[in-house]
Amino acid sequence: MMKKQFRFLFPTLEELFETLNSHLGFNVEIKYAMEYRHGGSEQNHYFERNEYIDCILQCLINHAGKRVIILSTFDPDCVSMLRLKQTLFPVLFLTQGEKGDWPQFLDVRTWSINIELYFVITEHLSDLAAPVLDILSNKEFVKQVKDNGKLLFIWGDEASDKEVSKCLLELRIDSLIFDHVAELKDEHSTTENLFISEECEELEVLNNFRQKQLELQHRQLLQELER
């Protein structure tokens, strides 16, 4: 009984792919323990990065289907590995920034949104995610990101405020990440939802073409993972 309750509360990624609507997109945030700048770590025992990331990628390749998938993580080394191991799914680098109350990590690449942008450019990533408070206090940063051809996601509970989200969208950010998104579902209706696959004939043709390309790349990546 206890095992069934645990499985209900914590389904596997594969189970989510199998049970949820096939058009529902996923932001797969990959958690990894990081060391704090002032000593200590988020966790003392954790998986080796390569094995951990390979398991996640194999699950995505085998079960994600045609879904829109974005991979995200706060760990810079995981970002680099995800980028080098595959090209099927965009990789989003998350940072805590400087304005929040979270303890700062030891890795200098996480210290500010400006350093984050430099890292994203260096690693040839397409996306980065910055905290709401850092963007509200440095709105010019949005232009810096756009000038470098990158997509800017914003995360944080503050984004659930209607006035804040309106301000951010007026700055032309690309996406908001926060809890209770349904509470704003009728707001800003002209903004395209990145995680909805439209049911139209033209998109279906494009998806079929894309799927053939993905299947070829899937086979190649599986061969690499099995070596």
Domains in the chain with CATH codes: 23-226 (3.20.20)
Per-residue pLDDT, 196: 47
CA 134 to chain CA mean position, Å: 18
Query: Do strands 69-73 and 127-131 pair parallel, antiparallel, or not at all (unpaired)?
Result: unpaired
d(CA 174, CA 222): 32
Nearest to 225 by CA among 55, 97, 87: 55
Residues forming beta bridges with residue 72, ordered by sequence position: 29, 92
Per-residue pLDDT, 151: 93
Per-residue pLDDT, 43: 75
Which helix (H) or strand (E) covers residue 168, if one does?
Answer: helix 162-170
Q: Which residues of the chain have pLDDT under 70?
A: 1-8, 180-214, 218, 225, 227
DSSP 98-141: TTSSSPPBSSGGGS-HHHHHHHHHHTT-SEEEEEHHHHHT-THH
Give the burial string for 124-156 (b: 16+ CB within 10 Å, else e).
Answer: ebebbbbbbbbbbebeebbeebeeeebbbbbbb
**Spatial contact of 49 and 78, defined as CB atoms under 8 Å apart:** yes
The pLDDT tens digits for 175-210 are: 888 876 666 655 555 555 544 444 444 455 556 666
The pLDDT tens digits for 154-169 are: 999 888 888 898 899 8
Q: What is the mean pLDDT of the chain?
A: 83
Per-residue pLDDT, 202: 46
Per-residue pLDDT, 35: 87
